[in-house]
Amino acid sequence: MTLFDAQAVRAEFPILQQQVNGHPLVYLDNAATTQKPESVIEAIADYYRFDNSNVHRGAHALSDRATEKFEGARNKVAAFINAESSAQVLWTRGTTEGVNLAAASWGRAHLKAGDRVLVSAMEHHSNIVPWQMIAESCGAQVEPIPVDDLGVIDLDALDALLDERVKMVSVGHVSNALGSINPVDEIIAKAHAVGAKVLLDAAQSIAHWSLDVQQLDCDFLVFSAHKMFGPTGMGVLYGKRELLDSMPPYQGGGEMIESVSFAGTVYNKLPYKFEAGTPNIAGAIGMGAAVDFIQGLDRQAADAHEKQLLQSAELALNNLGGFRLVGCSPNKVAVMSFVADFAHPQDIGMILDQQGIAVRTGNHCAQPIMDQYGLPGTVRASFSLYNTQADIEALMQGLEKAKMFLA
């Protein structure tokens, strides 16, 4: 395996070349959003500069070009996740809208009173609340799959929870709060064994490895462009064709219809049935460029680089003393969630910010697991492939200073 050249990749990200509060920016909030390479920024700018037009309906050259790029991006994303067809790749505003679309539309067609939906206890609120909303409207129940002190899903408990009343198991591939990589192959197999469908939230995994929806055999897959070096306000819901065909439209409007009359409206075919209104054309093109960027990387080497960063950061944090890791699954992405025994996570975050170091503090929109751990929140340093050993050294110096101030 070749060595990953993080410095070379880093040079492609203009935002990382700046000073913040008089210090070189150390960006360690990649689980919240990743930065964008020049190629993505250019693709979006070029679209507005040269091709901006509405898609699918113009009888002119610009519209043809915009449509070609827009649908070309869909084809790229479909190939990226190995979808059976581009028609099964629905554009959304992001992971949250993807879960909401699946919960509202699939749920309306398939959930009824007495049915059960399982989510893990460490899900992001985005993968809890949409299910609670549809469950409340039809009399179904949403129940947590227990997670242990290390941040590992309890598969025995899942076995005990699964029965024929479970219609959906909706889980994150990777926990945003703890970084745990969940055993999704086993979860999907177990869910399918009782006839339940599986929605996989890949928001936190899509930037790290190649995903193959056919190999995973998930029924739905959701993710966001902005966590994989693409623009905000853009995401994807992939679904198996028979499920998408069985679901009613999510929103009504232009694009999603075949014909409209007051006698009755006929809906458009996939994927347009679920894409009411003028879409985020620039967002789709930017997402396509992000896929190109990722495809151009040696992903195995990038993964090894990130793992090495995590190992190094966790070791250094333990050596500092006064800090405790939260989430110690043996299988983790490069997310280091921790607390200090001398101060609130927010204090740590504020002192780091003064030193140009960006981390996330708080409950990470995962209150149930924070409550289970009895924590007000954590400090989360999340690494991406453009981070380097120098970023970890800056973080450790920043934490030393926080200790000096607050302990």
Q: Residue 344 interacts with other proteins (CB under 8 A)?
A: yes
CA distance 283 to 289: 10
Selected range binding other proteins among 76-84, 116-124, 206-214, 340-348, rule: CB under 8 A: 340-348
Neighbouring C-beta atoms of residue 272, cutoff 10 Å: 20
Size, binding site for other proteins by CB under 8 A: 18
CA angle 245, 99, 41 (to 5 degrees): 105
Closer residue to other proteins (CB): 214 or 346:
346
Q: Residue 239 interacts with other proteins (CB under 8 A)?
A: no
CB of 404 to other proteins, least distance (A): 9
Q: Of the candidates 243, 257, 350, 358, which one interacts with other proteins according to CB under 8 A?
A: 350
Q: Of the candidates 37, 146, 288, 345, which one interacts with other proteins according to CB under 8 A?
A: 345
Spell out a b/e string for 79-110, using b for 16 or more CB atoms within 10 Å of the CB, else e: ebbebeebbbbbbbbbbbbbbbbbbbbbbeeb
Q: Residue 21 interacts with other proteins (CB under 8 A)?
A: yes
Per-residue interface string for the shown chain with other proteins, residues 291-330, x marking contact by CB under 8 A? ----------------------------------------
Closer residue to other proteins (CB): 141 or 363:
363
CA distance 183 to 241: 25
* Residues comprising the chain, all counted: 407
Smallest Cα–Cα separation from 105: which of 13, 222, 15? 222
Q: Of the candidates 133, 155, 276, 406, which one interacts with other proteins according to CB under 8 A?
A: 406
Closer residue to other proteins (CB): 176 or 361:
361
Q: Are 95 and 235 in contact (CB under 8 A)?
A: yes
CB of 401 to other proteins, least distance (A): 8
CB of 363 to other proteins, least distance (A): 8
**Maximum distance among all Cα pairs of the chain, rounded to whole angstroms:** 73
CA distance 248 to 268: 11
Closer residue to other proteins (CB): 312 or 363:
363
Query: Which residues 352-381 are close enough to bind other proteins by CB under 8 A?
Result: 354, 361-363, 376-377
Q: Residue 351 interacts with other proteins (CB under 8 A)?
A: yes
Catalytic residues: 365
Closer residue to other proteins (CB): 236 or 359:
359
Residue 28 tokens read as 């360690």
Q: What is the CA radius of gyration of the chain?
A: 22
Q: Residue 389 interacts with other proteins (CB under 8 A)?
A: no
Amino acid letter at 366?
A
Residue 314 tokens read as 């966790």
Smallest Cα–Cα separation from 379: which of 351, 406, 355, 407? 351
Q: For residue 145, list its beta bridge partners.
A: 120
Q: If DSSP codes are grouped into helix, strand and coil, which group holds residue 257? A: strand
CB of 312 to other proteins, least distance (A): 27
Q: Residue 32 interacts with other proteins (CB under 8 A)?
A: no
Closer residue to other proteins (CB): 21 or 214:
21
Neighbouring C-beta atoms of residue 310, cutoff 10 Å: 20
Q: Residue 405 interacts with other proteins (CB under 8 A)?
A: yes
Q: Residue 199 interacts with other proteins (CB under 8 A)?
A: no
Chain residues binding other proteins by CB under 8 A are: 21, 343-347, 349-351, 354, 361-363, 376-377, 401, 405-406
